[in-house]
Structure 1
Amino acid sequence: MSHHQALEALSSVLGERLTRSKADLEAHARSESHFRAPPPDAVAYPQSTAEVARIMAICAEHRMPVVGWGAGTSLEAHALPLHGGLVVDFTRMNKVLEIRSADMDVTVQPGVTREALNEELRATGLFFPVDPGANASLGGMAMTRASGTTTVRYGSMRDNVLGMEVVLADGRVIRTGSRARKSSAGYDLTALMIGSEGTLGLVTELTLRLHGIPEAVSAGICAFPSMAAAVDAVTETIQMGIPMARIEFVDAATARAFNAYAGVDMDAVPHLLVEFHGSPDSVAQDAERFGEILADHGGGAYRWSTRQEERRALWAMRHNAYYAVLASRPGARGLVTDICVPISRLAQAVEETAGDIAASTIPGPILGHVGDGNFHAILLVDPDRPEDLDEAKRLSHRMAERALRLGGTCTGEHGVGIGKLPYMAAEHGEGWQVMGTLKAALDPLNILNPGKLVPPRG
């Protein structure tokens, strides 16, 4: 069977929503990562689960590789079509299907973005909290087990997806989970699919847990004399049980980048950016307790505000950190890598990583969701200097090995794709082979996102 025959059959199902235009193909061979891939043979834009099921049945018959596509913001090449074939772009499956305020849940199609969902929820007094920074699609967030700035309080996608509708490699449609808040009925297929990076199925519908918009919110920022002092303050805050909604770290280089990019006036030292959710009294008490911890660790004046516009400006600056850091070295590309370690080993991991970068030939500002023990390095490389990329890969390798040595993981939220494949055996041992066994059982033809996440097939 040939890809040509598959494309003819797909065209009869999708019509003009199967495209082979050069611009479309090239757009689906790029991502935020430094990896490169050939363009796919075609891009499909389905509008229903039935169409996705038909697409998968045709591709299985003709053994054509299939890669799901959300917003294309992944950092480890999750959605790049390494073996050509078909990219299934879910941007037209973007409906909020049902909001159930009394049950605090919602059902959506996978192409709905987190910002679009929260806009739709505004009148309900509810919101969806998982915030990875980018305006990612919810299907992509589920498939990569996304987390972000609010995970320290509200959890990751693992904690906020109740159930999914998934099309398997042979075109079968299954529903995982239910709207019940707990279940002991069999294998947890929802958890299996979350983080599977499109290697086990294509998600076509999600039921998500919602949360009440807090009565009061305060956010603040504080400077520290050193990275160690800032991270130690985070560690004590978590150990004291202070209910942070967000607690973010940026180093001195990132602070300088913010000044140039956002026109702010931050001291060129490490900072913590924090947010509290709750009642007016609880927010004030939590901020006061946090201020005492900051003082104990040499933190500067803690500037905080309950004004919405000031809070939004603070988090917009944090979410634009990648672009601010890129602008600090004009023409550079960023190799962005992350690790996650137990909170008690966070200070050691950050300091050792900073030492490596300081001794290297390239800059690499550090920032991250330190309340979870998760931090990132944006390693800046000159695209005309291959030695820069080699150095960035060396630093990233040392970060991953450090995380495993300290009892952590080689990726806290970026995922595996192909970038973190070299560390999976060391992190999971025989468990990685079990992942491969599950993949082979559900996708015996190896057509769903081949070459990613699991051991290569012989």
Structure 2
Amino acid sequence: MTTQVSDDLLRACDGRVEPAGDDDALLGIRPRWVASPASTEETAALMRVVARDGLAVTARGSGTRLRWGGRPERLDLVVDTSRIDALVEHAAGDLVYVAGAGRSLARVQEDVGGAGQRLGIDPPTGGTLGGAVATAASGPLRLHHGAVRDLVIGMTLVRADGVVAHSGGKVVKNVAGYDLAKLLTGSFGTLGLITQVALRLHPVPQGRRWVTASVADAAAAGAAVLAVAHSQLVPSAVELDVPVSDAGSSGPGGPGAGAGPREPVGSAGPAGSLSVLVEGHPDGATESAQRVADLLAASGGADVLVGEDPPSWWGDHVAADRPGCTLLRVTHVLTGVTPLLRVLTEAAAGSGVRAHLRGSPAVGVEHVAVEGDSDAVAALVQRLRVASAGFDGQVVVLDAPDDVRDRVDLWVPIQALGLMRAVKDRFDPGRLLSPGRFVGGI
């Protein structure tokens, strides 16, 4: 396989194309080159050469979620977006922010923080703006501000043939082409290369309080979540942390180390912690926090604490980058917390598998980190999927070691798969953009 860079690629990217190294491999597949365009125009010129030569391309930001998704069918070129990181506009009065896709989320929050504003995208692993949009990665604030697709109001992208397309705008009320931005959000880079994003911002509340309680078992966790969700209070986030392991695999250093006591196998489910964030005027936040504390205590929560700082585990959705860990995204209805925890406990019992659930039960999205023998991990995933009707959700494998990937389908069956394939064919008929990475091998 030749690694000599063509003159056309070099001209398109102002010379910023280099042979790939071992660190550029994606799930065991090493590309030939890495290109680092600095603008939408350079990206478009690069993609015109890619289309002409039939090269397979994957976009890369900071790489924090690059392993999410399937192994690419082929990979010739990685497009590194880190140089497409300009702050285009921060219209503080309109609560709108526009920046290049390669800008880090940390820098975005710094850009807007001085104006007392924030972006409601707060995934625990950080990353770039484009990466968060491409993977639809949200954090705890999703409950209050909405999912990523709710915050994107405009987008600039480069199609597989090098044509630049614009969707939406920088004004919140402008909805022209908004469906295209929604389509690209969560598409894992299979429909176009995102180069610029316009987003809706929110003011940072003056007062913040966290209320944290221990929950003894699955029933108590479900009751506490429902008590908060059905109250007249409007929390900004509700986060759950539950270690799960069988009696033979709960030693120090496991996923739940330091997280508190565990129930014995066969009980109503493991013990854990539930934390609620309330925000607003300082006096109002203090009053609301006390009301939340009373709700949690009345619904079976123990050791209820109110503080100005989050618990140590807040927002860290189970260390997605831990080597050897299989990371699941599990969705469920609001009432599905208890059955999910019970099924997870039963699946882990006696298997030698250690698991740790953490996420946002009030919006029905949890992440589960699983460690253990590959056959046992695959069996746990299958058991969760079979039982998913009980919590009315889905189980997707975001990341996994190679031996687990070989044993499970990362994605779940999608009724609209035929339509999704038709969209892929329309946007990328040559299958040049991250082929095989998305659901159904798209």
The answer to whether structure 1 residue 19 and structure 2 residue 18 are counterparts is yes
Q: Which residue of 1 aligns with 2:24?
A: 28
SS of residue matched to 1:276: strand
- Give the one of 99, 113, 116 matched to 2:104: 113
1:30-85 deviation digits (Å, cap 9, x = unpaired)? 4xxxxx32111111111010110011110000100011112222275448654121
Asked if 1 retains the 8 angstrom alpha-carbon contact of 2:278 and 2:288, the reply is yes
Judged with a 3 Å threshold, the aligned counterparts in structure 2 of structure 1 residues 325 and 366 are, in CA distance, closer, same or farther, namely: farther
* Greater Cα shift, 70-79 or 448-457: 70-79
TM-score (norm 1): 0.84
Asked if 2 retains the 8 angstrom alpha-carbon contact of 1:404 and 1:410, the reply is no
Instruction: Report the identity percentage.
Output: 25
Asked if 1 retains the 8 angstrom alpha-carbon contact of 2:243 and 2:259, the reply is no
Q: Which residue of 2 aligns with 1:385?
A: none
Q: Which residue of 2 aligns with 1:394?
A: 379
Judged with a 3 Å threshold, the aligned counterparts in structure 2 of structure 1 residues 405 and 41 are, in CA distance, closer, same or farther, namely: farther
How many residue pairs get matched?
426
The answer to whether structure 1 residue 224 and structure 2 residue 224 are counterparts is no
1:320-359 deviation digits (Å, cap 9, x = unpaired)? 5635996xxxxx6211112111112221112111211123
Q: Structure 2 matches for 1:21-170, cutoff 5 A? A: 21-22=20-21, 26-30=22-26, 36-74=27-65, 77-78=68-69, 81-170=72-161
Asked if 1 retains the 8 angstrom alpha-carbon contact of 2:153 and 2:181, the reply is yes
Q: Give the deviation of 1:8 after TM superposition.
A: 3.9
SS of residue matched to 1:43: strand
* Greater Cα shift, 371-380 or 12-21: 12-21
Judged with a 3 Å threshold, the aligned counterparts in structure 2 of structure 1 residues 75 and 377 are, in CA distance, closer, same or farther, namely: farther
Q: Give the deviation of 1:377 after TM superposition.
A: 1.7
Judged with a 3 Å threshold, the aligned counterparts in structure 2 of structure 1 residues 266 and 363 are, in CA distance, closer, same or farther, namely: closer
Q: Give the deviation of 1:303 after TM superposition.
A: 1.1
Q: What are the ranges of 5 or more consecutive residues in structure 1 without an aligned counterpart?
A: 31-35, 327-331, 382-387
- Give the one of 174, 180, 183 matched to 1:192: 183
Q: Which residue of 1 aligns with 2:419?
A: 434
Q: Give the deviation of 1:450 after TM superposition.
A: 0.4
Q: Which residue of 1 aligns with 2:314?
A: 318
1:134-193 deviation digits (Å, cap 9, x = unpaired)? 111110111111212111111111111111000001000011012333456467111111
Letter in 1 for 2:422: T
- Give the one of 215, 234, 251 matched to 1:243: 234
Judged with a 3 Å threshold, the aligned counterparts in structure 2 of structure 1 residues 281 and 412 are, in CA distance, closer, same or farther, namely: farther
Q: Give the deviation of 1:7 after TM superposition.
A: 3.9
1:244-264 deviation digits (Å, cap 9, x = unpaired)? 11211112459x999999997
CA distance in 2 between counterparts of 1:349 and 1:262 reads 18
Judged with a 3 Å threshold, the aligned counterparts in structure 2 of structure 1 residues 337 and 260 are, in CA distance, closer, same or farther, namely: closer
CA distance in 2 between counterparts of 1:324 and 1:450 reads 23
Judged with a 3 Å threshold, the aligned counterparts in structure 2 of structure 1 residues 69 and 400 are, in CA distance, closer, same or farther, namely: farther
| Structure number with higher strand proportion | 2
Letter in 1 for 2:25: A
Letter in 1 for 2:418: Q
Q: Which residue of 2 aligns with 1:283?
A: 285
Q: Give the deviation of 1:111 after TM superposition.
A: 1.0
Judged with a 3 Å threshold, the aligned counterparts in structure 2 of structure 1 residues 80 and 27 are, in CA distance, closer, same or farther, namely: farther
* Greater Cα shift, 406-415 or 287-296: 406-415
CA distance in 1 between counterparts of 2:163 and 2:408 reads 28
Letter in 1 for 2:18: T
Letter in 2 for 1:17: R
SS of residue matched to 1:333: coil
Asked if 1 retains the 8 angstrom alpha-carbon contact of 2:29 and 2:75, the reply is yes
TM-score (norm 2): 0.87
CA distance in 2 between counterparts of 1:18 and 1:79 reads 25
Q: Give the deviation of 1:5 after TM superposition.
A: 8.4
The answer to whether structure 1 residue 333 and structure 2 residue 324 are counterparts is yes
- Give the one of 296, 304, 307 matched to 2:306: 304
Asked if 2 retains the 8 angstrom alpha-carbon contact of 1:357 and 1:363, the reply is yes
CA distance in 2 between counterparts of 1:42 and 1:411 reads 31
Letter in 2 for 1:435: M
1:204-225 deviation digits (Å, cap 9, x = unpaired)? 0000111101010011321122
The answer to whether structure 1 residue 233 and structure 2 residue 205 are counterparts is no
Q: Give the deviation of 1:114 after TM superposition.
A: 1.3
1:364-413 deviation digits (Å, cap 9, x = unpaired)? 122221121222221113xxxxxx11211221233234335643233498
The answer to whether structure 1 residue 342 and structure 2 residue 333 are counterparts is yes
Asked if 2 retains the 8 angstrom alpha-carbon contact of 1:37 and 1:81, the reply is no
CA distance in 2 between counterparts of 1:74 and 1:182 reads 31
- Give the one of 359, 384, 393 matched to 1:408: 393
Asked if 2 retains the 8 angstrom alpha-carbon contact of 1:252 and 1:271, the reply is no
The answer to whether structure 1 residue 293 and structure 2 residue 295 are counterparts is yes
The answer to whether structure 1 residue 270 and structure 2 residue 272 are counterparts is yes
Asked if 2 retains the 8 angstrom alpha-carbon contact of 1:354 and 1:366, the reply is no
